[in-house]
Amino acid sequence: MLIYLSETVVWWHWVALGLILLIVEMNVGTFLFLGLGLAAAIVGGADYMMDLPFLKALLLWIVLSVIVFVVWIRWFRDETVSTTGQSDHGLDTPGTVTEAIAPHRRGTVIFDTPVLGNTVWHATSAEALPEGTRVRIVEVNGQLIEVKEA
């Protein structure tokens, strides 16, 4: 079987496979076939220049596909923006207490920049915070923000 493939598969078969995989990628949109198609096209070019045996071309295609996937995963990995639970906003957002906060009770805080689209939030704290105290976010719990003195 390998002898038959070595004798019959030529460089343009790899290029055609690459184009077919790229067309499949355009219809699927998962980026899975993009790496496979690019690797097949590169193997077709290498086979055109060096007349590779089928087994070496297949091995080159597998290696290039793995390299493309590793690069893809490292390049487009979604980095964690913050550790604020549901929020993607930074913990360093300063605000001012407008309604005094008793320990483990609700009060009101106005933040300098919007947090999740709003500047006025109900907030709690482990310590008593009088009006006018500058605070920063400790944690976001649903619709309630825990703060501490800045």
Q: pLDDT 10s digit of each residue in the chain, 150 long?
A: 878 877 889 999 999 999 999 999 999 988 889 999 999 999 999 999 999 999 999 999 999 999 998 998 888 776 655 544 444 456 678 999 999 999 989 999 998 888 877 889 999 999 999 999 999 988 888 788 899 998
Domains of the chain: 2-75 (no CATH), 94-149 (2.40.50.140)
What are the helix and strand counts (H, E) for the chain?
4, 5
Half-sphere exposure of 75 (CA within 13 A, CB side): 6
Pairing of strands 134-141, 107-115: unpaired
Indicate the residue type of 88: D
C-alpha span between 141 and 101 (Å, rounded) = 17
Phi, psi values for residue 101, rounded to 5°: -115, 115
Nearest alpha carbon to residue 99 among 124, 127, 136, 117:
124
